């Protein structure tokens, strides 16, 4: 199983631990992640919020690279994932846009490479049964709230992954690791995304509400698949904090891989107390 | 049950006669650029009830649809709503009429920038433009540089300093930028799409 890997900018900085844990987990599961040659930023919210054509061109440049490599794309960050998906969707439905993209990026792209998020690859291409065979240190019923955020499952016509209102993949994955995924209503609620740097007031309110719902459902930690969600939840939750993990970190822990301790050092909310109390560190 | 319970005034202040002259060319342009059949909107409020940031908006998403139909260009381009929309796609997912509400928001933002409209929300558009600066020059995001530039541009030097230090201590912010090999291609991409 080989993919052109698109880490996205956050994974080189604020979400380093996501990149390290994702690479370790994929290697152990036999997923070959070949980093896309000379990939560039997808433009994130700032691209589509300011210039429609630019946002597609920024994504199309990367689609073209994978296409030349003849590989499907594995994406780690849901914001990048949605940008690439949007552009592929739009290009497949418009020859005019394909022509415009060829003009902007300087090479023809047919948008043939499929795009999947790592969570989808782990749950549906590798499969939960295979994941289970790799678990050597079950997570002792650690109660986690699976937090998908906005971009992984919406809009369904574009991303075509899981249910847009009540997704299950991450919950099933967490259960298979020996954790206990709590039932809660915040799964796809927005954390405020990139407003974190401009309207802290809004993000603090949204994160506060999410944390209350998670705590009310009995969660001891949050698990996410998104660098933006992780950063917002980790940094803006105020008092009485819960650790916020990437799903790949918990996979690495349950699979007994090298590295979890160094990944967790990068968190703002230190998870070691909780993990020790469950005999997991 | 009154929708006021959720702080929703549906259309009362946007349908005021004579409050603004209708600009039908504007309505038409938004329809085209957003690639959305927004006349299908029947004001069911699903978008606004599910919008996570509606509480902070001056006009709710359903009102925005109505205002576009009515050609209320100036109010829209100056509104805080268009910048506060977090792009979460909840409304798009739920609209029973498949109106691309987020596409409309994006179109309005782009119009406001192109026409250099000074609106109520100044920091968010500055943020987006600052975010794209390293992308254009380097092909990748450079958080530390971007954050410093944002502080300069918004003259807000003190907020989140503590958070920044914590991130830095955990090596979550790269000290030096990285640049892609084909950075010239980025220049072309930005140039070619600037005028479109
Ligand atoms: S959900 Fe759709 S139809 Fe309903 S008010 Fe919003 S845009 Fe109009
Ligand atoms: S995309 Fe914008 S308008 Fe739609 S629900 Fe999300 S924040 Fe609200």
Q: For A33-74, what is each residue's pLDDT tens digit?
A: 999 999 999 999 999 999 999 999 999 999 999 999 999 999
User: Could you tell me the pLDDT band of residue B113, with boundaries at 50, 70 and 90?
Assistant: very high
Q: Which residue's CA is the nearest one to ligand 2's atom 2?
A: B85
Mean pLDDT of B124-133: 96
pLDDT over 90 at A268, yes or no: yes
pLDDT tens per residue, range A91-130? 999 999 999 999 999 999 999 999 999 999 999 999 999 9
Distance from CA of A132 to the nearest CA of B (A): 32
Chain B closest CA to A11's CA: distance in Å? 9
Residues of A in contact with B196 (CB under 8 A): 52-53, 100
Rounded Cα distance between A159 and A167, Å, is 13
Please give the structure tokens belonging to residue A148.
């998908």
Any B CB within 8 A of A124 CB: no
- Are residues A73 and A107 in contact, defined by beta-carbon separation less than 8 angstroms? no
For residue B145 and ligand 2, the question of a CB distance below 6 A is answered with: no
Of A83, A109, A113, A112, nearest in space to A97 by CA: A109
Place of tokens 């039908």: B24
CA dihedral of B147, A269, B88, A110, whole degrees rounded to 10: 70
By C-alpha distance, which of A76, A138, A140 is closest to A278? A140
The residue behind tokens 């540089």 is B145
Indicate the range of A41-45, B63-67, B82-86, B163-167 predicted with least confidence.
B163-167
Query: Ligand 2 in contact with B102 (CB < 6 A)?
Result: yes
The rounded radius of gyration (Å) of the Cα atoms in chain B is 19
Report the gap between the CA of B17 and the closest CA in chain A (Å).
31
Residues of A in contact with B189 (CB under 8 A): 54, 57-58, 61, 104-105
| Probe site for chain A from B46, B88, B133, B140 (most A CB atoms < 10 A) | B88
Phi, psi of A54 (to 5 degrees): -60, -45
pLDDT interval class at B1 (50, 70, 90): very low
The alpha carbon of residue A65 and the mean position of all alpha carbons in its chain are separated, in whole angstroms, by 21
Q: What is the mean pLDDT of residues B36-54?
A: 96
Ligand 1 center–CA A42 separation, angstroms: 29
* Residue-averaged pLDDT of chain B: 89
Residue of minimum CA distance from atom 4 in ligand 2: B91
- Distance in angstroms (rounded) separating the CA atoms of residues A172 and A90: 32
A to B CB pairs, distance under 8 Å: 164
pTM over 0.90: yes
pLDDT tens digit string along A185-206? Answer: 999 999 999 898 899 999 999 9
Tell me the per-residue pLDDT of A158-181, one tens digit each, with 9 for 90 and over: 999 999 999 999 999 999 999 999
Position B147 confidence tier, pLDDT thresholds 50, 70, 90: confident
- Whether A40 and B186 lie within 8 Å, measured CB to CB: yes
B81/B102 Cα distance (integer angstroms): 11
Ligand of minimum distance to the alpha carbon of A191: 2
Q: Judge contact between A46 and B131, C-beta under 8 A.
A: yes
Beta strand residue intervals within chain A, DSSP E? 2-6, 32-35, 73-75, 115-117, 143-147, 180-181, 221-224, 244-246
A chain contacts of residue B93, beta-carbon cutoff 8 Å: 154-156, 164-165
CA–CA gap between residue B183 and residue A85 (Å, rounded): 23
- Written in H, E and C, the secondary structure of B100-145 is CHHHHHHHHHHHHHHCCCCCCCCHHHHHHHHHHHHHHHHCCCCHHH
CA of B102, closest atom in ligand 2? 1
C-alpha span between A63 and A115 (Å, rounded) = 9
Average pLDDT over chain A, rounded to an integer? 97
Is the pLDDT reported for residue B19 higher than 70? no
- pLDDT band at residue B2, thresholds of 50, 70 and 90? very low
Structure confidence at residue B25 (pLDDT): 95
Q: Which ligand places an atom closest to the C-alpha of B46?
A: 1
Angstroms from A56 CA to nearest CA on chain B: 10
In the numeric block, which tokens belong to residue A121? 């690859």
B41 Cα to the center of ligand 2, angstroms: 15
Does the C-beta of B70 come closer than 6 Å to ligand 1? Answer: no
Q: At residue B7, does pLDDT exceed 80?
A: no
Residue-wise DSSP of B29-70: HHHHHTT--GGG-----HHHHH-TTGGG-SS-HHHHHHHHHT
DSSP state letter for A117:
E
User: Given a cut of 50, is residue B17 above it in pLDDT?
Assistant: no
What is the tens place of the pLDDT at every residue in B148-188? 898 889 888 878 888 888 888 888 888 889 999 999 999 99
Residue A139, SS3 per DSSP: coil
Categorise residue B88: left if φ over 0, alpha if ψ from -120 to 50, beta otherwise: alpha
Cα B53 to chain centroid distance, Å, stands at 12
SS3 A269: coil
Q: Is B165 exposed, middle or buried (0-12, 13-18, 19+ CB in 10 A)?
A: exposed
- The yes-or-no verdict on residue B8 having pLDDT over 80 is no
Q: Check if B51 has its Cβ closer than 6 Å to any atom of ligand 1.
A: no
List A246's β-bridge partners, or say none: A224
Of the listed ligands, the closest to the CA of B45 is 1
Q: Which chain B residues touch A58 with a CB distance below 8 Å?
A: 135, 189
Q: Which residues of A touch B92 (CB under 8 A)?
A: 154-155
Give whole-number Cα distances, A247 to A172, A224, A244, A276, in Å.
Answer: 12, 6, 10, 18
Q: Do B178 and A104 touch (CB under 8 A)?
A: no
Are A46 and B129 within 8 A, CB to CB?
yes
Exposure string for A60-91, b = 16+ CB within 10 A, e = fewer: bbbbbbbbebebbbbbbbbbbbbbbbbbbbbb
Number of H helices, E strands in chain A: 14, 8
Rounded to 5°, angle at Cα A120 from A66 and A102: 25
A223 pLDDT higher than 70: yes
């Amino acid at each position: 199983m080989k993919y052109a890997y698109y880490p996205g900018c956050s994974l080189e900085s604020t979400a380093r631990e996501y990149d390290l844990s994702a690479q370790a987990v994929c290697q152990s599961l036999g997923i070959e992640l070949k980093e896309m040659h000379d990939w560039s930023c997808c433009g994130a919210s700032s691209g589509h919020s300011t210039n429609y054509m630019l946002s597609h061109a920024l994504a199309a440049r990367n689609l073209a690279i994978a296409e030349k490599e003849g590989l499907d794309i594995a994406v780690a960050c849901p914001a990048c994932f949605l940008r690439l998906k949007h552009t592929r969707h739009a290009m497949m439905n418009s020859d005019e846009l394909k022509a415009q993209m060829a003009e902007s990026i300087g090479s023809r792209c047919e948008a043939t490479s499929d795009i999947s998020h790592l969570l989808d690859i782990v749950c549906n291409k590798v499969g939960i049964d295979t994941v289970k065979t790799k678990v050597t240190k079950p997570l002792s019923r650690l109660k986690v709230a699976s937090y998908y955020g906005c971009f992984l499952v919406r809009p369904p016509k574009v991303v075509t992954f899981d249910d847009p209102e009540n997704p299950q993949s991450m919950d099933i994955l967490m259960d298979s690791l020996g954790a206990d995924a709590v039932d809660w209503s915040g799964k796809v609620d927005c954390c405020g995304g990139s407003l974190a740097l401009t309207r802290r007031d809004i993000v603090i309110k949204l994160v506060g509400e999410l944390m209350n719902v998670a705590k009310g459902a009995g969660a001891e930690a949050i698990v996410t698949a998104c660098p933006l969600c992780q950063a917002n939840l980790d940094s803006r939750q105020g008092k009485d904090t819960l650790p916020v993990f990437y799903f790949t970190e918990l996979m690495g822990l349950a699979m007994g891989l090298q590295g979890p301790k160094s990944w967790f050092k990068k968190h703002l909310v230190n998870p070691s107390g909780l993990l020790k109390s469950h005999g997991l560190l | 049950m009154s929708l006021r319970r959720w702080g929703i005034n549906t259309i009362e202040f946007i349908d005021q006669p004579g409050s603004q002259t209708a600009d039908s060319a504007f309505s038409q342009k938004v329809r085209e650029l957003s690639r959305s059949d927004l006349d299908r909107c029947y004001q069911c409020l699903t978008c606004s009830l599910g919008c996570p940031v509606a509480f902070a908006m001056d006009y709710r998403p359903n009102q925005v649809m109505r205002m576009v139909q009515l050609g209320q260009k100036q109010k829209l381009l100056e509104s805080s709503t268009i910048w506060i929309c977090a792009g979460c796609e909840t409304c798009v997912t739920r609209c029973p009429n498949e109106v691309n509400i987020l596409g409309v928001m994006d179109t309005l933002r782009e119009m406001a920038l192109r026409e250099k409209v000074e609106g109520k929300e100044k920091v968010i558009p500055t943020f987006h433009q600052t975010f794209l600066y390293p992308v254009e020059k380097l092909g990748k995001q450079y958080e530390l540089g971007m954050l410093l530039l944002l502080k300069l541009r918004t003259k807000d030097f003190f907020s989140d300093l503590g958070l920044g230090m914590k991130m830095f201590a955990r090596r979550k912010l790269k000290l030096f930028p990285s640049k892609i090999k084909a950075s010239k291609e980025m220049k072309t991409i930005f140039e070619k799409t600037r005028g479109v």
